[in-house]
Homo-oligomer: A and B are copies of this chain.
């Protein structure tokens, strides 16, 4: 089953309007949320980010966040995921519109929610490569989890074709922005670095949690530009996203990072993060 504007619908018969601007122009947003035993993790933060993005794009949310949240609980039950690990995807589009780019004065936005069983990766670490496709930090869409996601699709595909698990994306200035489906962190000279949002990084929910946890642990943290050379000098590198949490990177472009497995900073942050999820907090 999936939810369309709050109504449970059989996925096989669920259809989107052929004139929907989400389909025709990538004009919309999405969120990916991990659910543990029927409880979506940090759903409030995801729906707040969705609402912020919708405001930036002047798309009206067809349901208020608390009703979306309630409908997600219904969906998890309908799909028998109330005791399972699940991946939830919330998709908001501007809805149908006439031909052309101009944003229609009146619109009927569409909100789609999908929930499927989630199986974590079996590997404790991932390999990565720096890909050719670059992140456009000079567009407002770099800060939005928008439906115009083809750059990320191509980045992930390029990594796969080069034999790596994940892609690292440079921005237009040749500095690191993020992964194809993750934010990027590295430990260098006992400091935790992550590219600032202005470098083209998405304001990741897990990114924000990790920065909080690092602050609470009195780790020195810096949101400052990260250069490709920094990756090679780093003692630890990890990726973050809402489905996978923290993902240690064991090698980049064939070169081992640190000892080739999660280092002490990564491990302590992973433990703290797992604690949050276990406490559903």
Contacts and interface: CB of A to CB of B under 8 A. Distances in A.
A148 B25 CA distance: 6
A11 interface: yes
Given A99-B87, A148-B148, A154-B141, A18 B25 contact: no
Contacts of A218: none
Interface string A92-130: 010000111111000000001010100000000000000
Nearest to A134: B138
- Assembly of this chain: how many copies? 2
Counting contact residues on chain A (CB < 8 A from B), the size range is: 35 or more
Given A24-B91, A25-B149, A153-B25, A138 B172 contact: yes
Given A15-B15, A25-B147, A26-B147, 18 more contacts: A11-B18, A15-B16, A15-B17, A16-B20, A23-B147, A24-B149, A25-B150, A25-B152, A26-B153, A87-B99, A100-B181, A101-B152, A101-B153, A133-B138, A133-B140, A134-B136, A134-B139, A136-B139
